Structure 1
Amino acid sequence: MASKPVTAPVPITWYPTLSVLMLSIGLLITASFFIYEATSSRKTRSLGKELTTGALASFFLGFGSLFLLLASGVYV
């Protein structure tokens, strides 16, 4: 049985677009997190909302950074 070459699950030409898109979404979610923290009082804050927003921002910023590195030729 002949082995198949390993290919990327995402086409290489999409890397720059994905990095810009995901970093933009991550930065917007991060900005909304900071606005939420600055405008809400300690009594009205929700731990669930903070954790969800932080996890989403982390996800998008992490994958956006990964695609930025891949687009610039740093293969990780």
Structure 2
Amino acid sequence: MAQSAKPISSPVPDAWYPTLAVFMLAIGLVVTASFFIYEATSPRKYRSLAKELVTGTVASVFLGFGSLFLLLASGVYV
């Protein structure tokens, strides 16, 4: 006997998409701004590559997921 197929559903409720988009994009933009401020104000010999990579990675993750939820909230299902 074949089992009926279970429909694919999102682990996040659809009503949360706009809120998640706003918060994740806001956090990503704040981290990006702090990255640019760090680059502009610290002298070249005192910069830390590890701090730059961590800050860039965190900003990239938040902006990526924020963009994803923004697309989902606007009806573009990717």
Amino acid at match of 2:18: P
Query: 2:55: which partner in 1?
Result: 53
Counterpart in 2 of 1:34? 36
Question: Residues 3-52 of structure 1: CA distance to partner in whole angstroms, max 9, x if unpaired?
Answer: 21111111000000000000000000000000000110010000000000
- In structure 1, C-alpha distance between the alignment counterparts of 2:56 and 2:46, rounded to whole Å: 17
Larger radius of gyration: 2
Supply the distance in 1 between the matched residues of 2:73 and 2:4 (Cα, whole angstroms): 31
SS at match of 1:43: helix
How many residues matched?
A: 76
What stretches of structure 2 of length at least 5 have no aligned partner? none
Q: List aligned pairs for 1:1-76, cutoff 5 A.
A: 1-76=3-78
Separation of aligned partners in 2, 1:17 and 1:6? 22
Q: Percent identity?
A: 74
TM-score (norm 2): 0.95
SS at match of 2:44: coil
Instruction: Compare 2-11 and 52-61 and name the one that shifted more.
Output: 2-11
